[in-house]
Amino acid sequence: MKELALNILDIAQNSIAAGANQIAIAVRESVAADRLTISVKDNGCGMEPEFLAKVTDPFTTTRKTRKVGMGIPLLKMEAEMSGGELRIESEKGKGTSLTACFKRSHIDRPPLGDVAGTFMVLIQGAPNLEFTYTRETDRGAFQFSTAQVRALLDGVPLSEPDVLAWIRGYVEEGESGVL
Amino acid sequence: MKSLEDLKKIREEMQQKINIRTGDENRTRVVVGMATCGIAAGARPVLAALVDEVSRRKLQQVTVTQTGCIGVCRLEPIIEVLEPGKEKVTYVKVTEEKVKKIVSEHLANGRVVEEYTIGAAE
Ligand SMILES: Nc1ncnc2c1ncn2[C@@H]1O[C@H](COP(=O)(O)OP(=O)(O)O)[C@@H](O)[C@H]1O
Ligand SMILES: [Mg+2]
């Protein structure tokens, strides 16, 4: 993937497919510690330990037509090529938490890219789920939650284009406040 | 700055418009493939451009939705246009530029952009 924000989109699609109704996305970046960590946590169907052991291997997927489920193995490879690693914790019936960390200054680390765009697209596709987004840097943290916006919208769907455009802009501005 | 006040204004405008929507059976659906293959090929900006264009042109009868893998990974990003009573149209290797034309020609004026369809690509 050209941007880590696209991996985030892809990984969060797994959470949606797993039937989650709460998905927490976080990007934590520290220049001091030379770390960049992205995480996606959901309360979806989770995975059995045996299955979990196999999902990072590109020759496993639940899809029958195509043998290779690529999303997780791809992110794992990107993390490992940038001096980092991928961790997944999952419990059947409870949910899944995926964390990919990168050595921030590593030459092979993909750029973070447009997380606000990813966030907007996720909400467009699943406007009834609750998403949170946390962006943390050495300078501070920005947090956004769809639940807060939903309460303010009083029945107007989050999938309305004007609402989506507002969310995108709000997240972009909020993030730039901690950069 | 985008503020929560702006959001409240949007809410008030929307609450007035929302009841005058076209019924589901008469809506045009535009489906974007958003599996790993689609995302890697550029489906995210394509989807964002679609949402923007449809809203800018106030095409109230159009719904933009997302789906998984449409099946021909090498032709991603792929979008399908499903109009009631018409045959499905599949556009392949879609870009933000192509989206503008698909929206102005096909969605707004009913003229299929043949050169971008899967038929023209194969
Ligand atoms: N958050 C999750 N919750 C439950 N199952 C998951 C989750 N993420 C991944 N999986 C399982 O792991 C499989 C592999 O995921 P992935 O590598 O993204 O490939 P794909 O989504 O194309 O199948 C999925 O098909 C799904 O069965
Ligand atoms: Mg996946």
Which of A40, A55, A67, A89 to mutate for ligand 1's pocket (most ligand atoms within 8 Å of CB)?
A: A55
Closest CA to ligand 1's atom 6: A14
Name A39's bridge partners. A26, A99
Other beta carbons less than 10 A from residue B100's beta carbon: 15
| C-alpha neighbours within 13 Å on the C-beta side of residue B65 | 12
- Tell me the residue range of the domain where B102 lies: 4-121
Give the pLDDT of residue A60.
54
Locate the chain B residue with the closest alpha carbon to A115: B44
SS3 A158: coil
Size of interface A-B (CB pairs under 8 A): 82
Name every residue whose Cβ is closer than 8 Å to that of residue B115 and which is 6 or more positions away in sequence.
Answer: none
Q: Which helix or strand (DSSP H or E) is residue B38 part of?
A: helix B36-41
Overall number of domains in chain B: 1
Whether residue A62 is predicted with pLDDT greater than 80 in this model: the reply is no
Locate the chain A residue with the closest alpha carbon to B2: A170
Whether residue A6 is predicted with pLDDT greater than 90 in this model: the reply is yes
Q: How many residues does chain A have?
A: 179
Averaged pLDDT score across all residues of chain A: 93
Sign, CA dihedral A168-A30-A71-A91, equals negative
The whole-angstrom distance between A49's CA and the closest CA on chain B is: 24
CB-CB neighbors (< 8 A) of A153 in chain B: 7, 11
Dihedral Cα A133, B65, B91, B76, nearest 10 deg: 40
Question: For the domain that residue B35 is a member of, what is the CATH number?
Answer: 3.40.30.10
CB-CB neighbors (< 8 A) of B47 in chain A: 121, 124
Across A8-22, A76-90, B9-23, B58-72, least confident range: B9-23
Other beta carbons less than 10 A from residue A74's beta carbon: 18
Query: The whole model's pTM is what?
Result: 0.94
List domains and CATH numbers for chain A: 4-178 (3.30.565.10)
User: For each of chain B's 122 residues, which pLDDT tens digit applies?
Assistant: 788 999 999 999 988 876 666 677 789 999 999 999 999 999 999 999 999 999 899 898 999 999 988 888 899 999 999 999 999 999 999 999 999 999 999 999 999 999 999 999 87
B15 to A170: CB separation less than 8 angstroms, yes or no: no
